[in-house]
Structure 1
Amino acid sequence: MGLSRRLRTDRGVANGQIARVPAAKSGVMSSLDPPFSVCPALMPLFNQSIRRKIVGIALGLIVLMLVTSILSMVMSSQVGVLLGELSNRYIPAYSHLARANIRSLERALALRRMVMTRMGSPSDEEAYAARLRDFEALDRKFEEEAETARKLINAIIDDPSTYSDNAALARLDVRIEGAVTELRRNLDDGNAKLLKQIEAKDMAEARGTLEQLDALRDAFNQRIDAIRADMLTQVFFSTSQVISRQRQAIIISGIVTVLAAVVGFAFALLVSSGITRPVRLLLAGTREVEAGHFDKTITVSTKDEIGELAAAFNRMIEQLRQNERIRETFGRYIDPKVVQGLIDRPEVAIDGQRRVMTIMFSDMSGFTSMSEGMTPRGLVKVMNHYFTVMSAPIRTHRGVIDKYIGDAIMAYWGPPFIEEDEPALLACFAAIDMADQVPALQKQLPDLLGIRAMPAPCDLRIGIATGEVLTGSIGSELMMSFTVMGDAVNLASRLEAVNKTYGTRILISQATAEAIGTACELREIDRLTVAGQSVPQAIFEVMSKAHGLSVPQETLRARYAEGLAAYRARRFDEARAAFNAALEAVPGDGPSRTLLARIAQFEASPPDEGWDGAWRLEQK
């Protein structure tokens, strides 16, 4: 029962020691809280280079590992000291007390043997002397064991590095000293008396004295047993201290290890987030730039290499924003496709290339008479609106507006801006859409000027030609213009002017008509030799997109084709009848009226015998 109570007491002490660990843990946590709670303290860290950050993380983790290792070593050394005291002092002291008890029993047995040898008859002096020597040797051993136990107990008391119940140990020392001294005093008197009685052969008295010595020995043994029991309590107490310290060392080492891991992870997380966050912002900014958005910049929060990269990125964004503003600004003076093409392929502008392109010239009829009655401000207002309305179809059909010439528009279609098989078709589609805007434009211009009606009617004339041209930058060293030059350009300009002769809106060259095929409804108007050319070619009117003709227009085209064939064969009567039939289908048809006028001229002055049916236009 006493042992079980001692064990419960020891566990209670151990638990008491362990119960103080959380307080130590909270102390460590509170010492680590301030660096994390005070953000300005970490700012110098984030302003370091990436290399220093990584080296700092490594050094911090190494320091935490060293602290953990040193703390574990200190705790382990303390446990080792306690274990050394337990194994080198407590347990040996208890063992010496136990052996002192045994030596006292052996001493009593040696005394009896000595008495029995002396009482024998005849008396054996040599045997008696041997038993006496054994008795005296055991007497010395008894004292040595008791003295050794006392020295070990005093060593425990004198050692300040270990925790022990010094008061209880001091009482044990006093009790051992008192028990041994009292036993020594009583036994010395009793032994001397017993030896005299044995020498006097007084056996009756010797037996009584021997019984008294046995009683003294029993009393001593009882006291030694009590001292051993108390010493065993101290041994258990020391054992509980070792177990408690060992548990405490394990718990504290675990807590410090966990804290080191948490602090290291938090430290690494903070530093890594300081690296990865700007990288993610750079990635997001790059994607914005890739999408063409130049209005967002990156906040520079560090002064490391990534911060410098972010600052450089912001400078690049600003430069791109300025370039975009320049591009948008020049896009109002130079077609954006040309700007982009020159940026992507600057060698095209420098070297020049020959390409097959489709050229368009568009002009406003009646502009001269209309402008005479307008103020400059009103005229600019009308022209800006006119160019806006007419430029939209060109841009929609991927044409490049080369320039505005007075009230005329020059545009072209072709590589590298579009595919090679598309220019003629897109140009004709744009021309049709431009012609469709004329009725609405005629209604908008009076409202735009604030007048009831325009001073002169306005209409649209478009000439389109396809052929090989030279593309490149043309001009002087002071100013260049990316444009196209060649016979197709001249032909398109002449065809635009020829519309006045035939009373048409859209005339195209033979090469353009062949490139279109059946995508548009065409009508051959005439074979014409324009100024600057010697070879006549057929010219065509673009009437509508495919399948867009009305019944009267179909009749007009059929009758006109009959009349044109008769006209070229000099069957002027048949031609006149066909052209009149065409006028009945669509009254006011310009080409029919023009050719009827020519027939009248030829009747008065017939053409030469070698006439090929072509009309030569002498004026530009």
Structure 2
Amino acid sequence: MPIFNQSIRRKIVGIALGLIVLMLVTSILSMVMSSQVGVLLDELTNRYIPAYSHLARANIRSLERALALRQMVMTKMESSSDEEAYAARLRDFEALDRKFEEEAETARKLINAIIDDTRTYSDNAALARLDVRIESAVNELRRSLDEGNAKLLKQIEAKDMVQARATLEQLDTLRDQFNRKIDAIRADMLTQVFFSTSQVISRQYQAIIVSGAVTLLAAVVGFAFALLVSSGITRPVRLLLAGTREVEAGRFDKTITVSTQDEIGELAAAFNRMTEQLRHNERVRETFGRYIDPKVVQGLIDRPEVAIDGERRLMTIMFCDMSGFTSMSEGMTPRGLVKVMNHYFTVMSAPVRNNRGIIDKYIGDAIMSYWGPPFIEENEQTLLAGIAAIEMADQVPALQRQLPDLLGIRAMPAPCDLRIGIATGEVLTGSIGSELMMSFTVMGDAVNLASRLEAVNKVYGTRILIAQATAEAIGSRLELREIDRLAVAGQIAPQAIFEVMARAGALTDAQASLRTHYAEALAAYRARRFDAARAAFNAALEAVPGDGPSRTLLGRIAQFEASPPGEGWDGAWRLDSK
């Protein structure tokens, strides 16, 4: 079709012009129908309703006229007749008489104007009958009143009050008959007002329906037209996108059929030339020399200078190791060991990734991971690391059951468990390695401390140990227990180390009792009150039999009783080996 051979700009402009034309048609039709409704409203407000009002006022003028006549008679009937007052009453009577005729005549003129207006639909026959009835009623009343009024005036002049009263009663009767006729005419006129009102409402409703139908039709036609034109644009774009994805996947044999002569057609031709050139180039030998976390890849893409220059950041480091790995590996075949390690890494890596951590590397049976900017906010890292450690420890019972089934044996050659060390501190982040092989990693004292704390679990019989800075950042968001003040190998100043026991509020009664007795024992131990410390540690063991830290410190108390610490002992323990 010729329309698809136009440029994209012309296609878009064509769609816009088509929609503008449809909008103008809809607007013009709406204005025409609104003007018709306006004419009907104008007739209703300026003719029907005023005509009805004039008829009502004619009725009122008739009553006022009768009242003026009575006042005039009463003035004449007074013993001391005042001619000036009588003349004034007569003038009022004659003025009301004229007003009465004017109201009736005005109502007739408005009715005739409705009949003569060909722009609106009305019941002209009914209106003509109303006009005739008004004219007949007024003329009849006029004739009767003229005769009666003349007769009444003569009787009043002659002071014949008896006959004047009889004539006045006849005039009241004529007036009542006229009022009943006017009331009937007003009722019929009100029917015509209601009819005109219904016409206005009907036309307005019709205008709304027609406008809505035309708007819907315009929308459907516009959408169909836009869809027709846009399909000619989007179809080659989709083909181009599919070809781009093929190139992105490393397949360069994808070509795109050029079906248009617009800018997209030129782009498709350029794409075909590009893929043809890529097919003649050498294939990519190697995309990456190692696998790294996707978040690290994205971070390096967003800020490549970080990989080159490096940055110092506050991060939380975790080391996780499988206890008993050496003895376990000695009794396995290489294939069985690979299956066990792959399953172990899969299970233990999930909590790290689920809690937005970065797995840095696998070292033998150990996992090194870290949390911190720019991957997460600085105030979240310690809590996420602690939660990940808890979830990893929760996987141990299931892992212990799964490994024998995985190997097809009844029991593992050696029991397996988990040791985790976590430390927080300022580290250097950047790419470390050679020209042939690079690794984006973290280095610093916090890394060394986390590695040492992972190993210290063997000393205290614990699973998860964290450094003092990590514990302070976590606060009360996890259940922690201070274990000892420790200076690991390579450190001079000791610091408190803590065990992560559970999520906040998830301690059992036994664990809560253990933590309380252990804190009392630790305070007594540091104050050299070893008898009190021994009793409190034993109470802790009664709460949780086999508690590793309690047994470890009871062993130290036995050593100190045999060889008491020096005067400068600060209650800290120093490890000389890694």
Global fold match (TM > 0.5) = yes
User: Is contact 1:281–1:298 with CA below 8 Å preserved after alignment?
Assistant: no
Establish whether residue 416 from structure 1 lines up as the match of residue 374 from structure 2.
yes
Establish whether residue 279 from structure 1 lines up as the match of residue 233 from structure 2.
yes
Deviation per residue, 1:22-75 (Å, 9 max, x gap): xxxxxxxxxxxxxx8xxxxx8xx97x7859x99xx9xxxxxxxxxxxxxxxxxx
Establish whether residue 544 from structure 1 lines up as the match of residue 502 from structure 2.
yes
> Post-superposition shift, 1:294?
7.4
Counterpart residue identity of residue 235, structure 2 = L
Establish whether residue 342 from structure 1 lines up as the match of residue 296 from structure 2.
no
Give the alignment partner of residue 390 of structure 2, picking from 421, 427, 432: 432
- 1:434–1:332 CA distance, 2 compared to 1 (3 A): farther
User: Is contact 1:294–1:318 with CA below 8 Å preserved after alignment?
Assistant: no
Q: Which residue of 2 aligns with 1:101?
A: none
> Post-superposition shift, 1:306?
1.8
Give the alignment partner of residue 586 of structure 1, picking from 531, 538, 544: 544
- 1:468–1:290 CA distance, 2 compared to 1 (3 A): farther
In structure 1, the residue corresponding to 2:336 is in which secondary structure? Answer: helix
Q: Which residue of 2 aligns with 1:368?
A: 326
> Post-superposition shift, 1:308?
2.6
- 1:360–1:272 CA distance, 2 compared to 1 (3 A): closer
Alignment of 1:521-560 (within 5 A): 521-560=479-518
Give the alignment partner of residue 457 of structure 2, picking from 490, 495, 499: 499
In structure 1, the residue corresponding to 2:258 is in which secondary structure? Answer: coil
TM-score, normalised relative to structure 1: 0.53
Q: Which residue of 2 aligns with 1:379?
A: 337
Q: Which residue of 2 aligns with 1:128?
A: none
Deviation per residue, 1:486-525 (Å, 9 max, x gap): 0000000000000000000000000000010111000000
Structure with larger Rg = 1
- 1:533–1:340 CA distance, 2 compared to 1 (3 A): same
User: Is contact 2:465–2:498 with CA below 8 Å preserved after alignment?
Assistant: yes
Alignment of 1:191-210 (within 5 A): none
- 1:602–1:318 CA distance, 2 compared to 1 (3 A): farther
In structure 2, the residue corresponding to 1:466 is in which secondary structure? Answer: strand
The runs of 5 or more residues in structure 2 that have no matched partner are: 15-224, 278-283
> Post-superposition shift, 1:280?
2.3
Alignment of 1:273-312 (within 5 A): 276-281=230-235, 300-302=258-260, 304-311=262-269
- 1:313–1:585 CA distance, 2 compared to 1 (3 A): farther
Q: Which residue of 2 aligns with 1:244?
A: none
> Post-superposition shift, 1:614?
0.4
Deviation per residue, 1:233-283 (Å, 9 max, x gap): xxxxxxxxxxxxxxxxxxxxxxxxxxxxxxxxxxxxxx9999754432366
User: Is contact 1:278–1:310 with CA below 8 Å preserved after alignment?
Assistant: no
In structure 1, the residue corresponding to 2:476 is in which secondary structure? Answer: coil
Q: Which residue of 1 aligns with 2:311?
A: 353
Distance in 1 (CA, whole Å) between partners of 2:372 and 2:521 is 36
Distance in 2 (CA, whole Å) between partners of 1:488 and 1:441 is 29
Counterpart residue identity of residue 521, structure 2 = G
- 1:355–1:366 CA distance, 2 compared to 1 (3 A): same
- 1:523–1:305 CA distance, 2 compared to 1 (3 A): same
Deviation per residue, 1:107-130 (Å, 9 max, x gap): xxxxxxxxxxxxxxxxxxxxxxxx
Establish whether residue 389 from structure 1 lines up as the match of residue 343 from structure 2.
no
Establish whether residue 519 from structure 1 lines up as the match of residue 473 from structure 2.
no
User: Is contact 2:361–2:368 with CA below 8 Å preserved after alignment?
Assistant: yes
Distance in 1 (CA, whole Å) between partners of 2:226 and 2:559 is 93
Counterpart residue identity of residue 280, structure 1 = T
Establish whether residue 459 from structure 1 lines up as the match of residue 417 from structure 2.
yes
In structure 2, the residue corresponding to 1:489 is in which secondary structure? Answer: helix
User: Is contact 2:320–2:367 with CA below 8 Å preserved after alignment?
Assistant: yes
Distance in 2 (CA, whole Å) between partners of 1:614 and 1:383 is 37
Distance in 2 (CA, whole Å) between partners of 1:329 and 1:381 is 27
RMSD: 3.7
Distance in 2 (CA, whole Å) between partners of 1:272 and 1:611 is 86
In structure 1, the residue corresponding to 2:347 is in which secondary structure? Answer: helix
- 1:362–1:312 CA distance, 2 compared to 1 (3 A): farther
Q: Which residue of 2 aligns with 1:476?
A: 434
User: Is contact 2:7–2:261 with CA below 8 Å preserved after alignment?
Assistant: no
Distance in 2 (CA, whole Å) between partners of 1:376 and 1:421 is 43
Distance in 2 (CA, whole Å) between partners of 1:292 and 1:428 is 42
Distance in 2 (CA, whole Å) between partners of 1:337 and 1:400 is 8
Distance in 1 (CA, whole Å) between partners of 2:531 and 2:378 is 44
Alignment of 1:77-116 (within 5 A): none
- 1:382–1:316 CA distance, 2 compared to 1 (3 A): farther
> Post-superposition shift, 1:302?
3.0
Counterpart residue identity of residue 356, structure 1 = L
Deviation per residue, 1:427-464 (Å, 9 max, x gap): 00000000000000000000000000001000000000
Distance in 1 (CA, whole Å) between partners of 2:276 and 2:385 is 38
Counterpart residue identity of residue 337, structure 2 = L
User: Is contact 2:236–2:264 with CA below 8 Å preserved after alignment?
Assistant: no
Distance in 2 (CA, whole Å) between partners of 1:393 and 1:292 is 34
Give the alignment partner of residue 571 of structure 1, picking from 496, 520, 529: 529
Distance in 2 (CA, whole Å) between partners of 1:290 and 1:583 is 66
TM-score, normalised relative to structure 2: 0.56
Establish whether residue 399 from structure 1 lines up as the match of residue 357 from structure 2.
yes
Distance in 1 (CA, whole Å) between partners of 2:270 and 2:401 is 54
User: Is contact 2:240–2:256 with CA below 8 Å preserved after alignment?
Assistant: no
User: Is contact 2:464–2:500 with CA below 8 Å preserved after alignment?
Assistant: yes
Distance in 1 (CA, whole Å) between partners of 2:547 and 2:477 is 23
Q: Which residue of 1 aligns with 2:448?
A: 490
Moved over 2 A (4+): 48-51, 271-300, 302-305, 310-319, 328-332
Distance in 1 (CA, whole Å) between partners of 2:292 and 2:537 is 45
> Post-superposition shift, 1:397?
0.2
In structure 1, the residue corresponding to 2:419 is in which secondary structure? Answer: strand
Establish whether residue 602 from structure 1 lines up as the match of residue 554 from structure 2.
no
> Post-superposition shift, 1:332?
8.2
Distance in 2 (CA, whole Å) between partners of 1:451 and 1:318 is 56
User: Is contact 1:510–1:538 with CA below 8 Å preserved after alignment?
Assistant: yes
> Post-superposition shift, 1:300?
3.5
% same residue:
78
